[in-house]
Structure 1
């Protein structure tokens, strides 16, 4: 069983990330090969990065970051749900990634973007950020348009084809998570 965290990557008032993330989580939870949980950044208020050393050199001693690290460390894979803000991801999502290092390694991710242009530019930026912490991002991604998948830019009502797109992305995430299991849990040398 692959444990996937569906990350709601925005904490902004009026955000859509929580509704989209719940939808993705529900699709994932209906599978027999996945245990899916919602990971809402609004539930994990993290300080801005202000450590004397980067997480790759020394883990944080801050309790909020240690709790966040325990959440990320317990998962096998991720689906990041991100809006597009000025052609990129929200600062809170970037901070949540930057706060940790080892906890991300060898855990694949799928991307679900939303915005006027489907959040595709934010997703491409997120691919670069995740690559730096050794998170392989699968090729398939979901692009939700504020014009066609939301009513009056507010109520989330995805087109039926979007469920298929989520399924295809999850197929890849599960396959990668299984393939990378030995890197996440190396066997002792005998």
Structure 2
């Protein structure tokens, strides 16, 4: 199975690189799937301006088509997201909007960071995932409060925050279960 870790911030000064490196270290030790980091910086799509969703009309923008092709490769997704004004980033929402059938019948997991661990952004992403016919899983990871501020401002290492490990492992196990189940179902009854 292939799982994408989608980095949902493109700001030059983003914090996302710290939790991405932390996750990469954790995922390196797992053998249940192939994990690939997909950085939205590598897919600079304009604001959605197509005639319709790619569920109804072919996308014209070349970068967006490349994005759709990349997203289609995976059996599940981990969205690494900050929270901007109680919401996910505009660039992540835009990327979600540029694809539709590529997301269908696949699980979504979430790792959030910020003062409340991106809890409000993740709740919105769960609703978006349902509309995209994804299966958002229950367990999320929230890097929040003192953990977030310690890593962001004081240089604390996420790797040394052992209390985050059980949540990460539970999320990954749950994601793997759903990815395997949904892959089996997609292969047995392809969407028509």
TM-score (norm 2): 0.91
Name whichever of 7-16 and 155-164 sits farther off: 155-164
Q: Secondary structure at the match of 2:138?
A: strand
- Count of residue pairs brought into register by the alignment: 187
Q: Secondary structure at the match of 2:177?
A: helix
**Residue in 1 that maps onto 2:186:** 184
1:186 offset after TM fit, Å? Answer: 3.9
Moved over 4 A (4+): none
Deviation sequence 1:8-54 (CA, Å, 0-9, x none): 10001211112212322331231111111111111111111001122
Higher helix share: 2
* Structure 1 segment 53-68 matched on structure 2, within 5 A: 53-68=52-67
* Native 8 Å contact 1:149 1:157 kept in 2: no
Q: Secondary structure at the match of 2:106?
A: coil
Give the superposed CA RMSD.
1.7
Distance change in 2, residues 1:83/1:157 (3 Å): same
* Gap regions ≥5 residues in structure 1: none
Distance change in 2, residues 1:61/1:157 (3 Å): same
Higher strand share: 1
Distance change in 2, residues 1:133/1:187 (3 Å): closer
TM-score (norm 1): 0.91
Q: Secondary structure at the match of 1:102?
A: coil
Distance change in 2, residues 1:106/1:4 (3 Å): same
* Gap regions ≥5 residues in structure 2: none
**Residue in 1 that maps onto 2:157:** 157
Q: Secondary structure at the match of 1:88?
A: coil
Name whichever of 74-83 and 9-18 sits farther off: 9-18
Q: Secondary structure at the match of 1:151?
A: helix
Deviation sequence 1:89-123 (CA, Å, 0-9, x none): 00000000000100111111110111111110111
Q: Secondary structure at the match of 1:54?
A: coil
Provide the C-alpha distance between the structure 2 equivalents of 1:180 and 1:161, rounded to a whole number of angstroms: 30
Distance change in 2, residues 1:83/1:49 (3 Å): same
Provide the C-alpha distance between the structure 2 equivalents of 1:165 and 1:94, rounded to a whole number of angstroms: 25
Provide the C-alpha distance between the structure 2 equivalents of 1:14 and 1:156, rounded to a whole number of angstroms: 17
Q: Secondary structure at the match of 2:80?
A: strand
